[in-house]
Amino acid sequence: MTSPGTRIVAATSTVVIPEYLNEAASSIITKSQELLDAIKRIPGGKIIIDYIRASYQNDPYRSLFEFILVAFAIRYFLKSKSSYSKKDYIKLTEKEIDELVADWQPAPLTVPLRDDEKWQLDSIPITKGQISSHTEIIDNRDNGKLKSVINLASLNFLDLGINKEMIEAGIEQINYSGVGACGPPNFYGTQDVHFRLEEDLARFFGAEKSILYAQDFCTAQSIIPCFLKRGDIAIVDGGVSLQLQKAVMISRCEVFWYDHNDLESLEKTLKFVNEDFRGEPLTRRFIITEGLFENYGDSPDLKALVDLKKKYKYRLIIEESRSLGVLGATGRGLAEVYNIPRSDIDITVGSMALAFASSGGFCIGETPMINYQKLQSNAYVYSAALPPYCAKVCSKALSLIENATSENGNSNKIIGRLHLKIKKFYKLLSSDKKLNECVTIVSEPESPTIHLRISKSIREKLELPASYGGIGSNMEKFVEKGLEENYFDEEYNLENYLLQIIIDKILKSNILITRSKRILHHELLPLIPELIINVNAGITEDEIVRCHQVISKEIIDTLTNINLKTFDNLI
């Protein structure tokens, strides 16, 4: 039951509250009217008012959406910049910076030379005059006396460096155009002789087109990053030279190594990669190997290699620096040995500094591939062009070799002369039983560079490791931390010193051979020091017999007498 009093209160209250609200509402309306008038007075204000009025259109929800959107936009515009890229930076106060600067000690530019590696500097032969099959060297250990030696250390295999026509061509070109190209190839650096050489190289090797580089060591390092990028795949032989190792490293691609010159291992790797990357985005895939391995002196079976690359749909890059001008009856390289058209090799990289006795590197292959390099290859775009006289001399070398080819095209006088010497030298060395007990010949009979390793039994006797450096070794851990300067492998140094002792002994009989001079912390792959004999076309057969006798005698003398104790105390 409700009393009448409460009803009255309720009635009065329903009357009073609307009146109060009305007042408030009317004051809000007048206030907002004033506000609107004020906004209208601002330039452009009328448009905004009209816009809002027009957009309202009795649809408050839509207007709410728009209002929220505008509010969001204003909030976004008012936010100050926030850094994503520098979010892991450490912020240092002024004081901390000053302290760090005060504490800083400049590191020495080089680590001091150790006593036990000084011999390396002393052992560098200084030559006088032209480098050819017979060279004069200044003997450091004999008061700088001049000494005429048979040079088995030079890579000038065909001995074209002392050819009169070559020298004349070089002088003529220097008289005509000076010594430098004065600019990158795309920027005033290209002259007529460069075009001629490009045509000559393409014709000589049976390729569509060629491109010249000023420095042979940088050629592969410029070409490979030009075609292989992050995410691409390179299947690389596990015995490639330093320049290819660095080239695949700086290209940022995925690198898979297969056992050196082992095509079964290659096929296993190809299968593995194709399986493992199934469903991944399609990338460029290359097999990278050498024509004549700089570190081993052997060659891959090109025919099987081409079959594999076709079967698994890869492209093939072959670094033929050592094999062009040397392998094949007319010096056309590994492709000629296996009778494979040059077009089956997608990219061939070569050097003009070895057999062709000039300087610089080149690449041969299909026209679009070459043209792409003209815009994308760093060494071609940014560094100075090959000196014109080098181009001229190389053209001359090619024409000399071409002119020496017999009419039926099966043999070549210049190349044949080298092959004969290689065959003879290799036969003498390989048939020397006593020598083969001391050293192992790693290289193949066709290789002009003969690699001799201390035999396994002697290395085991001297407690030397199976190989130095490489993936998983101590050296790699130092390199990863950037401490490679602190790493010094005493055994590696000692083994090299042992080889140098042999070289020095041989040098006493006026024969200069060399050894593999590889810096351990630069190499990614395992290696073993070797004695190296570079057979030269300019050596006579009698000299070869004498060289063999001396080399064999000194190696046997040194290695049969050595034992662990004397070896450890060599230095």
Partner 1 sequence: MSVFPGSQSQQQQQAHIPSAEKLSISPTTSKENRRRRSSSIISHVEPETIEIKNDQEVLPNLNANWVHFKGAWLVHIVIIALLRIFYNLFPVFTKEISWTLTNVTYVIGSYIMFHQVKGTPFEFNSGAYDNLTMWEQIDNGDQYTPVKKFLMGVPIALFLISTHYSNYDIQLFILNFTLCLVAVIPKLPISHRVRITIPFISEPQMIK
Residues that bind partner 1 (CB under 8 A): 51, 54-55, 57, 59, 62, 65-66, 69-70, 73, 76-77, 79-85, 225, 229-231, 238-239, 251-252, 254-260, 262, 265, 269, 272-273, 276, 279-281, 376, 465-467, 470-474, 478, 486-491, 525-528, 568
What is the closest distance, in whole angstroms, from the C-beta atom of residue 360 to partner 1 in the complex?
A: 25
Nearer to partner 1, 202 or 228 (CB): 228
Nearer to partner 1, 473 or 510 (CB): 473
| Cβ–Cβ < 8 Å for 376, 386 | no
Nearer to partner 1, 249 or 501 (CB): 249
At residue 553, what are phi and psi to the nearest 5 degrees? Answer: -60, -50
What is the closest distance, in whole angstroms, from the C-beta atom of residue 428 to partner 1 in the complex?
A: 25
Locate tokens 């907002």: which residue? Answer: 32
The two most distant CA atoms of the chain are separated, in Å, by 144
Locate tokens 């695949």: which residue? Answer: 248
What is the closest distance, in whole angstroms, from the C-beta atom of residue 230 to partner 1 in the complex?
A: 3
Nearer to partner 1, 275 or 407 (CB): 275
Q: Is the dihedral of CA 70, 71, 77, 81 positive or negative?
A: negative
CA distance 61 to 95: 57
What is the closest distance, in whole angstroms, from the C-beta atom of residue 317 to partner 1 in the complex?
A: 17
DSSP 3-state assignment of 332? coil
What is the closest distance, in whole angstroms, from the C-beta atom of residue 266 to partner 1 in the complex?
A: 9
What is the closest distance, in whole angstroms, from the C-beta atom of residue 535 to partner 1 in the complex?
A: 23
Nearer to partner 1, 80 or 561 (CB): 80
Listing DSSP states for 244-310 in one string gives HHHHHHHTT-EEEEE-TT-HHHHHHHHHHHHHHTTTSPP--EEEEEESS-TTT-----HHHHHHHHH
What is the closest distance, in whole angstroms, from the C-beta atom of residue 247 to partner 1 in the complex?
A: 13
What is the closest distance, in whole angstroms, from the C-beta atom of residue 320 to partner 1 in the complex?
A: 22
Locate tokens 């050629």: which residue? Answer: 219
What is the closest distance, in whole angstroms, from the C-beta atom of residue 216 to partner 1 in the complex?
A: 23
Nearer to partner 1, 402 or 489 (CB): 489
What is the closest distance, in whole angstroms, from the C-beta atom of residue 487 to partner 1 in the complex?
A: 6
CA distance 160 to 450: 20
Nearer to partner 1, 195 or 272 (CB): 272
Nearer to partner 1, 108 or 472 (CB): 472
CA distance 248 to 256: 10
DSSP secondary structure code for residue 443 in this structure: S
Q: Enumerate the β-bridge partners of residue 237.
A: 258
CA distance 245 to 257: 10
Nearer to partner 1, 266 or 363 (CB): 266
CA quadruple 139, 142, 147, 152: dihedral, nearest 10: -50
What is the closest distance, in whole angstroms, from the C-beta atom of residue 382 to partner 1 in the complex?
A: 12
Q: Is 145 exposed, middle or buried (0-12, 13-18, 19+ CB in 10 A)?
A: exposed
Nearer to partner 1, 82 or 175 (CB): 82
DSSP secondary structure code for residue 410 in this structure: S
CA distance 366 to 542: 45
One-letter identity of residue 55: S
194-224 burial, b if ≥16 CB within 10 A, otherwise e? Answer: beebbebbbebbebebbbbbbbbbbbbbbbb
What is the closest distance, in whole angstroms, from the C-beta atom of residue 342 to partner 1 in the complex?
A: 27
Nearer to partner 1, 53 or 118 (CB): 53
Structure tokens at 314: 């890869």
Nearer to partner 1, 383 or 516 (CB): 516
What is the closest distance, in whole angstroms, from the C-beta atom of residue 86 to partner 1 in the complex?
A: 8
DSSP secondary structure code for residue 527 in this structure: B
Nearer to partner 1, 78 or 102 (CB): 78
DSSP secondary structure code for residue 79 in this structure: S
489 torsion bin: left (phi>0), alpha (psi -120 to 50), beta (else):
beta
Closest CA to 426 of 456, 451, 392, 455: 451
